[in-house]
Amino acid sequence: GAVVSQHPSRVICKSGTSVKIECRSLDFQATTMFWYRQFPKQSLMLMATSNEGSKATYEQGVEKDKFLINHASLTLSTLTVTSAHPEDSSFYICSARTSGMNNEQFFGPGTRLTVL
């Protein structure tokens, strides 16, 4: 149980285009989802927290107009990188939790974004 999937696993796009990454909780309802960004050989940095049906809360320094987050249902959250540039290339990881899971987050396998 507690499986989180991400799609796509890898995406390459041209500079200036937008890319959407999906995060799904497959066997539980995720009241909260988190989006992280991981640079090569570095730790995970929390980008934003999203609760189903409400606006995402972004961490300091994260541009909310560039990284659009939608958590429209209890099993799906999406991250859209708008007008992507090479500096947006990174590994994006989502996680999900639900109430009663004792603060445990279940992580997706990650999405490797490369912007040319």
Partner 1 sequence: AQSVTQLGSHVSVSEGALVLLRCNYSSSVPPYLFWYVQYPNQGLQLLLKYTTGATLVKGINGFEAEFKKSETSFHLTKPSAHMSDAAEYFCAVSYNFGNEKLTFGTGTRLTIIP
Contact between 60 and partner 1 (CB under 8 A)? no
- What residue type is 74 in one-letter code? L
Closest distance to partner 1 from the beta carbon of 42 (Å): 7
Structure tokens at 49: 């927290």
Structure tokens at 79: 């991250």
**Residue 19 bridge partners (DSSP):** 81
Closest distance to partner 1 from the beta carbon of 32 (Å): 6
Contact between 29 and partner 1 (CB under 8 A)? no
Contact between 13 and partner 1 (CB under 8 A)? no
CA gap 49, 56 in Å, rounded: 6
Contact between 90 and partner 1 (CB under 8 A)? no
Residues 6+ apart with CB under 8 A from 55: none
**Number of residues located near partner 1, criterion CB under 8 A:** 25
Q: Of 13, 20, 32, 89, which one interacts with partner 1 (CB under 8 A)? A: 32
CA gap 9, 22 in Å, rounded: 10
- Which residues of this chain interact with partner 1, rule CB under 8 A? 4, 6, 32, 34, 41-46, 49, 91, 93, 95, 97, 102-110, 112
